[in-house]
Amino acid sequence: MLLPDAREAIVTACQELSRSGLVVGTAGNLSVRAGDLVAVPPRGVRDAALPPEHSASATPELVGVRRLDGTAVEAPLAPTSELPLHLAIYRARPEAGAVVHTHSLAATALSTLVTEVPAVHYYVAMFGGPVLVAPYATYGSEELAGHAVHALRDRTACLLGNHGAVTIGPDLAAAQDKSVYLEWLCEVYLRAFSAGTPRLLPPAEIAVVARKLAGYGQRA
Ligand SMILES: [Zn+2]
């Protein structure tokens, strides 16, 4: 079996995302890139509704492996409908080792209201600055994939208008962490601007925090 570790990690991460409430039913998905290959879960099969042996993302064997052009290498089932989104991001962002896509509540609510998540908290530095909202396009379309790549540009996260959220990272753990922080940030902004006009942090401060975060965790 190709990419056994990546496929196993996807199974575990799908279960974690489901438990965390960041995804609902079969909505949302994640992928891992290793060289020219991408491991992606199969299309919309509910983990919770199926016995473990039939749940499409419950075994590493059923997680597909594809090339960056989408051709199947080892893929027993149809891929997630957002395959074009995942592949477009990997082609545009060689440093990305994993992509996490969710329909988490606060991020999705905000994606219907604003064009960016501004610097309401210094955590935006984690994503490279204010998080942009990609214009709406039909799910699974190349158009949506293009919008997402554009909104991600020099960022590690974006929202998809009237749809959800995307985060990327060097590996799955990093991309998953970011999806949790992004949801928190969206919740903060949603609450703050529901109550008034939030103060924003200046770009210079976000740059200071970005430098601090770059060193975070590396010191004893
Ligand atoms: Zn989606």
Which pLDDT score, from 0 to 100, does residue 25 have?
A: 66
Which pLDDT score, from 0 to 100, does residue 50 have?
A: 43
Question: What is the CB neighbour count within 10 angstroms for residue 21?
Answer: 11
Which pLDDT score, from 0 to 100, does residue 103 have?
A: 93
The helix or strand, by DSSP H or E, that contains position 148, with its residue range, turns out to be: helix 142-152
Residues of the chain with pLDDT under 50: 47-54, 56, 220
User: How far does residue 211's CA lie from ligand 1's centre (Å)?
Assistant: 32
Which pLDDT score, from 0 to 100, does residue 53 have?
A: 45
Q: What are the CA-CA distances from residue 205 to residues 20, 65, 103, 126, 132 (Å)?
A: 31, 42, 30, 13, 19
Which pLDDT score, from 0 to 100, does residue 52 have?
A: 47
Which pLDDT score, from 0 to 100, does residue 14 have?
A: 86
Q: Which long-range contacts (CB under 8 A, 24 or more apart) does 123-127 make?
A: 123/181, 123/184, 123/185, 124/185, 124/201, 124/206, 125/206, 125/207, 125/209, 125/210, 125/213, 126/156, 126/178, 126/181, 126/213, 127/155, 127/156, 127/157, 127/167, 127/178, 127/182
Residues with active-site annotation: 82
Is residue 29 within 8 A of residue 82, CB to CB? The reply is yes
**Rg of the Cα trace of the chain?**
17
Instruction: Tell me the backbone φ, ψ of residue 133, rounded to 5 degrees.
Output: -105, 115
User: How far does residue 139's CA lie from ligand 1's centre (Å)?
Assistant: 6
- The three-class DSSP label of residue 101 is strand
Say if residue 214 is exposed, middle or buried (CB neighbours under 10 Å; 0-12, 13-18, 19+): exposed
User: How far does residue 210's CA lie from ligand 1's centre (Å)?
Assistant: 29
User: How far does residue 213's CA lie from ligand 1's centre (Å)?
Assistant: 29
Which pLDDT score, from 0 to 100, does residue 217 have?
A: 63
Strand order in the sheet with 29-34: 72-74, 64-67, 37-40, 29-34, 98-102, 164-169, 157-160, 131-134, 116-117
Is residue 166 within 8 A of residue 194, CB to CB? The reply is no
Which pLDDT score, from 0 to 100, does residue 65 have?
A: 96
